[in-house]
């Protein structure tokens, strides 16, 4: 099965929200230039040693999914934006909190590096 690209995903959305989706993609690309663009759970996802963040178009907002740890650490800084344990709603009518998004992406990449470092298998010489 051939998954669509993030660009193709954006082009399937309503024309009036496509610029907002492109803006999010550009912000994530600039913040995480080494990340791979993928789809996870049917959403555009930036992947670097694990999922960094995902986003998705909804009727009235762009859903942003940085995971529960990021929301726990940085959720208090989200005044004016609805959020839950692992998701944030960015209404299309409001600007993105770009500095917050950059901070969260950097945090998630560091978190993924730490997890990857702990998972590195230590091969024994006897195998």
Q: How many domains does the chain have?
A: 1
**Residue 123 resides in a domain:** no
- The pTM (predicted TM-score) of the whole model is 0.89
**Residue 53 resides in a domain:** yes
**Residue 81 resides in a domain:** yes
Q: Identify the pLDDT of residue 124.
A: 44
**Residue 2 resides in a domain:** yes
**Residue 32 resides in a domain:** no
Provide the residue range defining the domain that includes 47. Answer: 1-13+43-93
**Residue 71 resides in a domain:** yes
The half-sphere exposure of 87 on its side-chain side, counting CA atoms within 13 A, is 11
Decide: 65 and 53 in contact? Cβ < 8 Å. Answer: yes
Sequential pLDDT tens for the chain (127 residues): 457 899 999 999 999 999 999 999 999 999 999 999 999 888 999 999 999 999 999 999 999 999 999 999 999 999 889 999 999 999 999 999 999 999 999 999 999 999 888 876 654 444 4
Q: What are phi and psi of 13, to 5 degrees?
A: -90, 165
Distance CA 121, CA 31 (A): 29
CATH number for the domain that contains residue 82? 3.90.1150.200
**Residue 52 resides in a domain:** yes
**Residue 61 resides in a domain:** yes
């Amino acid at each position: 099965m051939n998954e669509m690209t993030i660009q193709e995903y954006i082009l399937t959305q309503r024309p009036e929200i496509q610029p907002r989706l492109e803006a999010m993609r550009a912000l994530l690309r600039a913040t995480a230039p080494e990340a791979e663009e993928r789809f996870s759970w049917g959403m555009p996802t930036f992947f670097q040693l694990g999922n960094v963040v995902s986003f998705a178009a909804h009727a009235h907002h762009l859903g942003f999914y940085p995971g529960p740890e990021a929301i726990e650490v940085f959720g208090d800084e989200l005044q004016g934006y609805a959020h839950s344990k692992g998701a944030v709603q960015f209404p299309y009518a409001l600007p993105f909190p770009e500095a917050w998004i950059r901070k969260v992406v950097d945090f998630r990449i560091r978190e993924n590096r730490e997890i990857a470092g702990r998972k590195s298998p230590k091969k024994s010489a006897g195998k």
